[in-house]
Protein backbone atom coordinates (compact mmCIF):
# COMPACT_ATOMS: atom_id res chain seq x y z
CA UNK A 1 0.00 0.00 0.00
CA UNK A 2 1.25 3.50 -0.79
CA UNK A 3 2.01 5.90 2.04
CA UNK A 4 -0.72 8.27 0.84
CA UNK A 5 -3.33 5.49 0.89
CA UNK A 6 -2.06 4.23 4.24
CA UNK A 7 -2.38 7.71 5.75
CA UNK A 8 -5.92 8.12 4.48
CA UNK A 9 -6.86 4.67 5.71
CA UNK A 10 -5.18 5.13 9.09
CA UNK A 11 -6.76 8.53 9.76
CA UNK A 12 -10.13 7.18 8.69
CA UNK A 13 -9.93 4.70 11.56
CA UNK A 14 -9.43 7.21 14.35
CA UNK A 15 -11.95 9.47 16.06
CA UNK A 16 -11.22 12.17 18.61
CA UNK A 17 -11.34 11.01 22.22
CA UNK A 18 -14.48 12.19 24.01
CA UNK A 19 -12.99 13.13 27.34
CA UNK A 20 -12.42 16.80 28.06
CA UNK A 21 -10.54 18.31 30.95
CA UNK A 22 -9.79 21.77 32.24
CA UNK A 23 -6.17 22.76 32.60
CA UNK A 24 -4.41 25.91 33.70
CA UNK A 25 -3.64 28.13 30.70
CA UNK A 26 -0.02 27.99 31.83
CA UNK A 27 -0.03 24.22 31.28
CA UNK A 28 -1.93 24.11 28.01
CA UNK A 29 0.92 24.34 25.48
CA UNK A 30 0.32 21.84 22.63
CA UNK A 31 -3.00 20.72 24.10
CA UNK A 32 -6.02 20.75 21.80
CA UNK A 33 -8.91 23.12 22.56
CA UNK A 34 -12.16 21.31 23.22
CA UNK A 35 -14.46 24.33 22.86
CA UNK A 36 -14.47 27.58 20.93
CA UNK A 37 -13.12 30.48 22.97
CA UNK A 38 -15.53 33.39 22.59
CA UNK A 39 -14.33 36.72 23.87
CA UNK A 40 -16.42 38.32 26.61
CA UNK A 41 -14.58 41.60 26.13
CA UNK A 42 -12.76 43.62 23.55
CA UNK A 43 -8.97 43.76 23.47
CA UNK A 44 -7.62 46.31 24.06
CA UNK A 45 -10.49 47.36 26.32
CA UNK A 46 -10.08 51.12 25.59
CA UNK A 47 -8.46 53.36 23.03
CA UNK A 48 -4.94 53.83 24.38
CA UNK A 49 -1.68 55.45 23.49
CA UNK A 50 1.00 53.50 21.66
CA UNK A 51 3.68 56.10 22.49
CA UNK A 52 5.00 58.15 25.34
CA UNK A 53 3.92 61.70 24.47
CA UNK A 54 0.94 64.04 24.62
CA UNK A 55 -2.71 63.33 23.87
CA UNK A 56 -4.31 66.20 21.95
CA UNK A 57 -7.37 67.25 20.04
CA UNK A 58 -6.26 67.44 16.41
CA UNK A 59 -8.45 70.54 15.96
CA UNK A 60 -6.22 72.36 18.49
CA UNK A 61 -3.05 71.79 16.48
CA UNK A 62 -3.64 73.18 13.00
CA UNK A 63 -0.05 74.30 12.48
CA UNK A 64 3.36 73.35 13.87
CA UNK A 65 4.66 75.21 16.90
CA UNK A 66 1.36 75.49 18.79
CA UNK A 67 1.78 75.70 22.55
CA UNK A 68 -0.63 73.65 24.68
CA UNK A 69 -0.90 73.64 28.44
CA UNK A 70 -0.49 70.18 30.00
CA UNK A 71 -3.74 69.80 31.91
CA UNK A 72 -3.32 66.24 33.25
CA UNK A 73 -1.00 63.26 33.39
CA UNK A 74 -2.17 59.73 32.51
CA UNK A 75 0.01 56.70 33.15
CA UNK A 76 -0.73 53.09 32.09
CA UNK A 77 -3.30 51.55 34.40
CA UNK A 78 -4.86 54.90 35.36
CA UNK A 79 -7.91 56.57 33.86
CA UNK A 80 -7.71 60.26 32.95
CA UNK A 81 -10.54 62.78 32.82
CA UNK A 82 -12.03 64.35 29.66
CA UNK A 83 -9.45 66.52 27.91
CA UNK A 84 -10.05 70.23 28.39
CA UNK A 85 -10.19 71.90 24.95
CA UNK A 86 -7.04 73.82 24.08
CA UNK A 87 -4.86 71.68 26.37
CA UNK A 88 -3.01 68.38 26.09
CA UNK A 89 -2.50 65.43 28.42
CA UNK A 90 0.88 63.96 29.26
CA UNK A 91 0.36 60.28 28.36
CA UNK A 92 2.39 57.08 28.43
CA UNK A 93 2.33 53.92 26.33
CA UNK A 94 -0.70 51.78 27.17
CA UNK A 95 -2.51 54.55 29.07
CA UNK A 96 -6.18 55.08 28.11
CA UNK A 97 -6.90 58.06 25.89
CA UNK A 98 -8.82 60.81 27.68
CA UNK A 99 -12.27 61.51 26.27
CA UNK A 100 -12.10 64.18 23.60
CA UNK A 101 -8.48 63.50 22.58
CA UNK A 102 -8.08 62.00 19.11
CA UNK A 103 -4.30 61.75 18.58
CA UNK A 104 -1.01 61.40 20.38
CA UNK A 105 2.06 63.47 19.59
CA UNK A 106 5.14 61.52 20.50
CA UNK A 107 7.37 63.24 23.00
CA UNK A 108 10.22 63.45 20.49
CA UNK A 109 8.03 65.87 18.48
CA UNK A 110 7.52 68.26 21.40
CA UNK A 111 9.57 70.77 23.38
CA UNK A 112 8.75 71.63 26.98
CA UNK A 113 8.07 75.29 27.61
CA UNK A 114 10.07 76.59 30.58
CA UNK A 115 8.57 78.68 33.34
CA UNK A 116 5.74 78.29 35.80
CA UNK A 117 3.00 76.90 33.65
CA UNK A 118 3.58 73.39 32.40
CA UNK A 119 3.15 73.53 28.62
CA UNK A 120 4.67 72.07 25.47
CA UNK A 121 5.37 73.22 21.92
CA UNK A 122 3.87 70.76 19.50
CA UNK A 123 6.36 70.61 16.65
CA UNK A 124 4.45 68.45 14.17
CA UNK A 125 0.81 68.64 13.12
CA UNK A 126 -0.81 65.34 14.14
CA UNK A 127 -3.20 63.30 12.05
CA UNK A 128 -6.38 62.06 13.68
CA UNK A 129 -5.84 58.62 15.21
CA UNK A 130 -2.07 58.93 15.21
CA UNK A 131 -0.34 56.69 17.83
CA UNK A 132 -3.68 55.53 19.14
CA UNK A 133 -4.44 51.84 19.51
CA UNK A 134 -8.16 51.38 18.99
CA UNK A 135 -10.33 49.55 21.49
CA UNK A 136 -11.08 46.10 20.08
CA UNK A 137 -8.46 46.29 17.33
CA UNK A 138 -7.03 42.94 18.48
CA UNK A 139 -10.21 41.16 19.57
CA UNK A 140 -13.84 42.23 19.27
CA UNK A 141 -16.42 41.21 21.85
CA UNK A 142 -18.19 37.98 20.89
CA UNK A 143 -15.50 36.90 18.43
CA UNK A 144 -14.36 33.28 18.29
CA UNK A 145 -10.76 33.92 19.15
CA UNK A 146 -9.58 30.33 19.12
CA UNK A 147 -11.66 27.53 17.66
CA UNK A 148 -12.11 24.08 19.09
CA UNK A 149 -9.71 21.65 17.48
CA UNK A 150 -6.86 24.15 17.53
CA UNK A 151 -3.61 22.99 18.99
CA UNK A 152 -2.43 25.61 21.43
CA UNK A 153 0.89 27.36 20.97
CA UNK A 154 2.75 29.82 23.18
CA UNK A 155 1.19 32.72 21.25
CA UNK A 156 -2.33 31.31 21.54
CA UNK A 157 -1.89 30.86 25.30
CA UNK A 158 -1.04 34.55 25.49
CA UNK A 159 -4.13 35.40 23.43
CA UNK A 160 -6.33 33.26 25.69
CA UNK A 161 -4.85 35.00 28.72
CA UNK A 162 -5.64 38.41 27.16
CA UNK A 163 -9.32 37.39 27.36
CA UNK A 164 -8.93 36.76 31.08
CA UNK A 165 -8.92 32.97 30.84
CA UNK A 166 -6.82 31.30 33.51
CA UNK A 167 -8.10 27.84 32.58
CA UNK A 168 -8.88 26.23 29.26
CA UNK A 169 -11.03 23.28 28.19
CA UNK A 170 -8.85 20.79 26.33
CA UNK A 171 -9.09 17.25 25.05
CA UNK A 172 -7.83 14.54 27.36
CA UNK A 173 -4.33 13.27 26.76
CA UNK A 174 -4.24 10.00 24.82
CA UNK A 175 -3.15 7.15 27.07
CA UNK A 176 -0.46 5.27 25.21
CA UNK A 177 1.18 1.99 26.20
CA UNK A 178 4.67 1.73 24.76
CA UNK A 179 6.75 -1.38 24.50
CA UNK A 180 9.83 -2.53 22.69
CA UNK A 181 10.29 -6.07 21.47
CA UNK A 182 13.54 -7.94 20.98
CA UNK A 183 15.60 -10.42 22.98
CA UNK A 184 18.73 -8.57 21.91
CA UNK A 185 17.71 -5.40 23.70
CA UNK A 186 19.42 -4.20 26.87
CA UNK A 187 18.58 -1.03 28.73
CA UNK A 188 21.34 1.55 29.02
CA UNK A 189 22.50 1.60 32.62
CA UNK A 190 21.74 -2.08 33.19
CA UNK A 191 24.85 -3.50 31.56
CA UNK A 192 28.02 -1.46 30.91
CA UNK A 193 29.26 -1.40 27.30
CA UNK A 194 32.28 -3.63 28.05
CA UNK A 195 30.05 -6.33 29.54
CA UNK A 196 27.52 -6.53 26.69
CA UNK A 197 27.06 -10.11 25.44
CA UNK A 198 27.64 -10.82 21.73
CA UNK A 199 24.55 -9.85 19.79
CA UNK A 200 23.19 -7.60 22.48
CA UNK A 201 22.38 -3.96 21.66
CA UNK A 202 21.05 -1.09 23.69
CA UNK A 203 17.41 -0.17 23.36
CA UNK A 204 17.48 3.16 21.57
CA UNK A 205 13.93 3.25 20.15
CA UNK A 206 12.44 3.39 23.62
CA UNK A 207 14.14 6.70 24.28
CA UNK A 208 13.00 8.62 21.25
CA UNK A 209 9.56 7.02 21.11
CA UNK A 210 8.76 7.84 24.71
CA UNK A 211 10.00 11.39 24.21
CA UNK A 212 8.08 11.86 20.98
CA UNK A 213 4.89 10.60 22.62
CA UNK A 214 5.33 12.99 25.50
CA UNK A 215 5.92 15.86 23.13
CA UNK A 216 2.69 14.93 21.39
CA UNK A 217 0.86 15.37 24.67
CA UNK A 218 0.37 11.68 25.47
CA UNK A 219 0.26 10.06 28.87
CA UNK A 220 2.77 7.27 28.38
CA UNK A 221 2.85 3.91 30.18
CA UNK A 222 6.26 2.59 29.31
CA UNK A 223 5.98 -1.18 29.59
CA UNK A 224 9.64 -1.79 28.83
CA UNK A 225 10.96 -4.67 26.77
CA UNK A 226 8.81 -7.65 25.85
CA UNK A 227 10.76 -10.78 24.94
CA UNK A 228 10.35 -12.45 21.54
CA UNK A 229 7.85 -15.06 22.72
CA UNK A 230 4.24 -15.47 21.70
CA UNK A 231 2.87 -15.85 25.24
CA UNK A 232 4.71 -12.79 26.51
CA UNK A 233 3.57 -10.75 23.52
CA UNK A 234 -0.07 -11.82 23.92
CA UNK A 235 -0.01 -11.07 27.63
CA UNK A 236 1.52 -7.62 27.13
CA UNK A 237 -1.00 -6.67 24.43
CA UNK A 238 -3.98 -7.98 26.39
CA UNK A 239 -3.22 -6.13 29.57
CA UNK A 240 -2.20 -2.92 27.81
CA UNK A 241 -5.45 -2.83 25.83
CA UNK A 242 -7.57 -2.47 28.98
CA UNK A 243 -6.58 1.01 30.04
CA UNK A 244 -5.07 2.66 26.99
CA UNK A 245 -6.22 4.35 23.82
CA UNK A 246 -3.22 3.18 21.82
CA UNK A 247 -0.59 0.47 22.09
CA UNK A 248 2.62 1.44 20.32
CA UNK A 249 5.32 -1.17 19.83
CA UNK A 250 8.62 -1.26 18.04
CA UNK A 251 10.19 -4.28 16.37
CA UNK A 252 8.89 -7.78 15.84
CA UNK A 253 6.49 -6.81 13.10
CA UNK A 254 8.28 -8.30 10.07
CA UNK A 255 7.93 -11.74 8.61
CA UNK A 256 10.51 -13.78 10.58
CA UNK A 257 9.58 -16.51 13.07
CA UNK A 258 10.81 -14.26 15.84
CA UNK A 259 8.29 -11.61 14.85
CA UNK A 260 5.34 -12.26 17.15
CA UNK A 261 3.53 -8.98 16.95
CA UNK A 262 1.51 -9.52 13.81
CA UNK A 263 0.03 -12.95 14.66
CA UNK A 264 -0.60 -11.84 18.23
CA UNK A 265 -2.59 -8.78 17.15
CA UNK A 266 -4.52 -10.93 14.68
CA UNK A 267 -5.38 -13.33 17.48
CA UNK A 268 -6.52 -10.61 19.91
CA UNK A 269 -8.23 -8.27 17.49
CA UNK A 270 -7.57 -7.38 13.90
CA UNK A 271 -4.67 -6.33 11.77
CA UNK A 272 -5.95 -3.78 9.28
CA UNK A 273 -2.85 -2.31 7.71
CA UNK A 274 0.49 -3.94 7.22
CA UNK A 275 3.50 -3.01 5.18
CA UNK A 276 3.76 0.31 3.45
CA UNK A 277 5.53 1.22 0.24
CA UNK A 278 8.02 3.52 1.90
CA UNK A 279 11.67 3.44 2.76
CA UNK A 280 12.57 3.38 5.56
CA UNK A 281 9.50 2.05 7.31
CA UNK A 282 8.02 -0.77 5.30
CA UNK A 283 7.07 -3.03 8.24
CA UNK A 284 4.51 -0.61 9.71
CA UNK A 285 1.32 -2.15 11.09
CA UNK A 286 -2.04 -0.87 12.34
CA UNK A 287 -4.71 -2.88 14.03
CA UNK A 288 -6.91 -3.08 17.09
CA UNK A 289 -6.81 -5.19 20.23
CA UNK A 290 -10.13 -6.09 21.89
CA UNK A 291 -10.64 -5.17 25.50
CA UNK A 292 -11.42 -8.25 27.57
CA UNK A 293 -13.62 -6.20 29.85
CA UNK A 294 -15.62 -5.40 26.73
CA UNK A 295 -15.61 -1.76 27.85
CA UNK A 296 -15.63 0.70 25.01
CA UNK A 297 -14.21 0.24 21.57
CA UNK A 298 -11.14 -1.86 20.92
CA UNK A 299 -7.73 -0.36 21.68
CA UNK A 300 -5.81 1.06 18.72
CA UNK A 301 -2.57 -0.74 17.93
CA UNK A 302 0.38 0.58 15.95
CA UNK A 303 3.45 -1.55 15.37
CA UNK A 304 6.54 0.35 14.28
CA UNK A 305 9.54 -1.27 12.64
CA UNK A 306 12.48 -2.21 14.86
CA UNK A 307 15.16 -0.45 12.88
CA UNK A 308 15.66 2.86 14.64
CA UNK A 309 15.47 5.14 11.62
CA UNK A 310 12.39 3.32 10.32
CA UNK A 311 10.78 3.64 13.71
CA UNK A 312 11.64 7.34 13.94
CA UNK A 313 10.46 8.22 10.43
CA UNK A 314 7.21 6.25 10.61
CA UNK A 315 6.43 7.90 13.93
CA UNK A 316 6.84 11.34 12.39
CA UNK A 317 4.95 10.61 9.20
CA UNK A 318 2.14 8.36 10.47
CA UNK A 319 1.86 8.24 14.25
CA UNK A 320 2.04 11.99 14.68
CA UNK A 321 -1.04 12.81 12.56
CA UNK A 322 -2.80 9.82 14.13
CA UNK A 323 -2.20 11.24 17.61
CA UNK A 324 -3.28 14.72 16.51
CA UNK A 325 -6.56 13.35 15.21
CA UNK A 326 -7.03 11.30 18.39
CA UNK A 327 -6.75 14.58 20.30
CA UNK A 328 -9.35 16.27 18.16
CA UNK A 329 -7.13 18.44 15.99
CA UNK A 330 -9.31 19.69 13.16
CA UNK A 331 -6.86 21.48 10.85
CA UNK A 332 -6.56 19.35 7.74
CA UNK A 333 -3.04 20.69 7.22
CA UNK A 334 -1.86 19.17 10.46
CA UNK A 335 -3.33 15.82 9.56
CA UNK A 336 -1.14 15.43 6.52
CA UNK A 337 2.56 15.67 5.81
CA UNK A 338 3.84 19.18 6.50
CA UNK A 339 4.22 21.20 3.29
CA UNK A 340 7.47 20.47 1.50
CA UNK A 341 9.86 23.10 0.17
CA UNK A 342 11.62 22.60 -3.15
CA UNK A 343 15.38 22.86 -2.68
CA UNK A 344 18.24 21.86 -4.97
CA UNK A 345 19.89 18.52 -4.24
CA UNK A 346 23.64 18.89 -3.76
CA UNK A 347 23.95 15.13 -4.12
CA UNK A 348 22.91 12.39 -6.49
CA UNK A 349 20.77 9.28 -6.14
CA UNK A 350 21.81 7.11 -9.04
CA UNK A 351 19.74 4.04 -8.25
CA UNK A 352 16.00 4.64 -8.05
CA UNK A 353 14.19 2.73 -5.35
CA UNK A 354 10.89 0.97 -5.96
CA UNK A 355 9.50 2.57 -2.83
CA UNK A 356 8.87 6.23 -1.98
CA UNK A 357 11.99 7.12 -0.09
CA UNK A 358 12.63 9.54 2.78
CA UNK A 359 16.28 10.52 2.70
CA UNK A 360 18.01 12.10 5.67
CA UNK A 361 19.46 15.40 4.51
CA UNK A 362 20.69 18.69 5.85
CA UNK A 363 20.44 22.24 4.48
CA UNK A 364 23.76 23.78 3.58
CA UNK A 365 24.98 27.37 3.44
CA UNK A 366 24.45 27.53 -0.35
CA UNK A 367 20.72 26.93 0.06
CA UNK A 368 20.97 23.34 -1.13
CA UNK A 369 20.70 19.96 0.55
CA UNK A 370 23.47 17.58 1.54
CA UNK A 371 22.78 13.86 1.87
CA UNK A 372 23.92 11.79 4.82
CA UNK A 373 26.24 9.23 3.23
CA UNK A 374 24.80 6.17 4.96
CA UNK A 375 21.04 5.89 4.45
CA UNK A 376 20.72 2.50 6.16
CA UNK A 377 17.62 2.27 8.35
CA UNK A 378 19.80 1.13 11.24
CA UNK A 379 21.98 4.23 11.24
CA UNK A 380 20.39 6.61 13.72
CA UNK A 381 23.28 9.05 13.26
CA UNK A 382 21.60 10.09 9.99
CA UNK A 383 18.56 11.39 11.87
CA UNK A 384 20.73 13.41 14.25
CA UNK A 385 23.03 14.78 11.55
CA UNK A 386 20.09 15.62 9.29
CA UNK A 387 17.63 18.46 9.78
CA UNK A 388 14.96 16.97 7.58
CA UNK A 389 13.85 14.50 4.96
CA UNK A 390 13.73 14.50 1.20
CA UNK A 391 10.49 12.97 0.02
CA UNK A 392 11.61 11.17 -3.13
CA UNK A 393 8.89 9.50 -5.22
CA UNK A 394 9.23 5.81 -6.07
CA UNK A 395 11.46 5.07 -9.04
CA UNK A 396 13.05 8.53 -9.13
CA UNK A 397 16.75 9.19 -9.55
CA UNK A 398 18.19 12.52 -8.43
CA UNK A 399 20.85 14.45 -10.33
CA UNK A 400 22.97 17.17 -8.78
CA UNK A 401 20.95 20.40 -8.76
CA UNK A 402 17.54 18.77 -9.17
CA UNK A 403 14.82 20.43 -7.11
CA UNK A 404 13.64 17.96 -4.46
CA UNK A 405 10.89 18.06 -1.81
CA UNK A 406 12.31 18.84 1.59
CA UNK A 407 10.37 18.47 4.86
CA UNK A 408 12.11 19.77 7.97
CA UNK A 409 12.28 17.81 11.19
CA UNK A 410 11.30 21.06 12.90
CA UNK A 411 7.92 20.91 11.14
CA UNK A 412 7.57 17.20 11.83
CA UNK A 413 8.33 17.64 15.51
CA UNK A 414 6.22 20.76 16.05
Q: How far apart are CA 88 and CA 274, in angstroms?
A: 75
Q: Distance from CA of residue 102 to its chain's centroid?
A: 42
Q: Where are the alpha helices (DSSP H) in 80-199?
A: 154-162
The residue among 156 and 250 lying less far from ligand AMP, judged by its C-beta, is: 250
Residue 254 binding ligand AMP, by CB under 6 A: yes
Residue 48 binding ligand AMP, by CB under 6 A: no
- Please pick, from the candidates 96, 126, 174, 251, the single residue that binds ligand AMP as defined by CB under 6 A: 251
Q: How far apart are CA 212 and CA 217, in angstroms?
A: 9
CB of 199 to ligand AMP, least distance (A): 9
Binding partner of residue 148 among Mg ion, ligand AMP, none, CB cut-off 5 to 8 Å per kind:
none
Residue 308 binding Mg ion, by CB under 5 A: no
Binding partner of residue 201 among ligand AMP, Mg ion, none, CB cut-off 5 to 8 Å per kind:
ligand AMP
CA-CA-CA-CA dihedral for 25, 27, 28, 31, to nearest 10: -160
Q: How far apart are CA 104 and CA 23, in angstroms?
A: 41
CB of 269 to ligand AMP, least distance (A): 20
- Please pick, from the candidates 44, 96, 305, 368, the single residue that binds ligand AMP as defined by CB under 6 A: 305
Q: How far apart are CA 10 and CA 4, in angstroms?
A: 10
Q: How far apart are CA 67 and CA 83, in angstroms?
A: 15
- Please pick, from the candidates 252, 287, 328, 338, the single residue that binds Mg ion as defined by CB under 5 A: 252
CB of 298 to Mg ion, least distance (A): 25
Find, among 215, 164, 183, 243, the residue nearest to 319 by Cα: 215
Work out the end-to-end distance of the chain between its first and last CA atoms, rounded to an integer number of angstroms: 27
- Please pick, from the candidates 53, 96, 98, 252, the single residue that binds ligand AMP as defined by CB under 6 A: 252
Residue 306 binding ligand AMP, by CB under 6 A: yes
The residue among 227 and 277 lying less far from ligand AMP, judged by its C-beta, is: 227
- Please pick, from the candidates 180, 233, 249, 327, the single residue that binds ligand AMP as defined by CB under 6 A: 180
Residue 281's Cβ-count burial label (10 Å; 0-12, 13-18, 19+) is buried
Q: Using CB under 5 A as the criterion, which residues of the chain lie in contact with Mg ion when the complex forms?
A: 182, 251-252, 306
Q: Using CB under 6 A as the criterion, which residues of the chain lie in contact with ligand AMP when the complex forms?
A: 180, 182, 184-185, 201, 203-206, 250-254, 305-308
Amino acid sequence: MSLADAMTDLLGRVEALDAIETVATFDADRRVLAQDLVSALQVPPNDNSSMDGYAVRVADVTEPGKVLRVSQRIAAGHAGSPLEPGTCARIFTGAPMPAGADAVVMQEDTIEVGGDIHAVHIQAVPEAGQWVRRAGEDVTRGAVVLAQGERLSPASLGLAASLGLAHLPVRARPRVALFSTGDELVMPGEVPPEAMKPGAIYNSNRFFLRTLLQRMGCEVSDLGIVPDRREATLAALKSAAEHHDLILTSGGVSVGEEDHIKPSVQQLGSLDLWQIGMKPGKPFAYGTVRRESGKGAACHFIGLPGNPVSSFVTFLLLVRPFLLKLQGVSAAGLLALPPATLLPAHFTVARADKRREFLRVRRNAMGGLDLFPNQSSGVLTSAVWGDGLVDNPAGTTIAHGDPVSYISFADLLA
